[in-house]
Amino acid sequence: METFLSFLIGLGLSAACGFRVFVPLLVVSIASRTGHLHLSPGFQWMGSDAALIAFATATVLEIAGYYIPWVDNLLDTISSPAAVIAGTVVAASVAADMSPFLKWTLAAIAGGGIAGIVQGATVLTRGGSSAGTGGLANPVLATAELGGSLITSILSLVMPVLVALVIGGLLIFAAWRVLQRRVHPPTKV
């Protein structure tokens, strides 16, 4: 059961990496330092003083960057691959009692995959906002993404099953919408 819960925690934290790369890493570092999260062997460094300072600094810089018009779009190009990497690492860091092959396979496919999907959705949303409002609505999106990352990170530690159910429901809904568009494409006027 502990292995399953650690997988769900990793999945939720990976999804949070899709919103903001460093917020979930900071939450993991704090949770590890306070004893609320036990990291897998080889990942205890994430709870060190140096990691906490690095994650806190990177989080502040990342958050600030998303409030600067057009810098936010530039950050999306950098953070897209970074989110996949962070999602993979954070999923592996909490995986308990797994063989290294299984841990890294699940971390790359599930953790990196869900981080990439969430990041892709935020990039598309920001691109539409930039095109439609000239970037004026982007600070609102930045705030929503920050909130999504923080809430998802914390809830992943406290209620991992609920977070996994919500993520699963959203993925099913997104897949259904894509299929609906393929079956019934919008008509052009």
**CA 144/CA 142 separation, integer angstroms:** 5
Residue with tokens 């460094």: 45
What is the C-alpha separation between 122 and 145, in angstroms, rounded? Answer: 8
33 close to 16: Cβ distance less than 8 angstroms: no
User: At residue 183, what is the residue type?
Assistant: V
Neighbours of 182 (CB within 10 A): 8
Q: Is residue 27 within 8 Å of 174, Cβ to Cβ?
A: no
Which pTM was predicted? 0.89
Predicted confidence at residue 188, as pLDDT, reads: 73
pLDDT tens digit sequence for 58-112: 999 999 999 987 788 888 889 999 999 999 999 999 998 889 999 999 999 999 9
pLDDT of residue 9: 94
Residue, of 140 and 181, whose pLDDT is higher: 140
Residue 74's SS3 state is helix
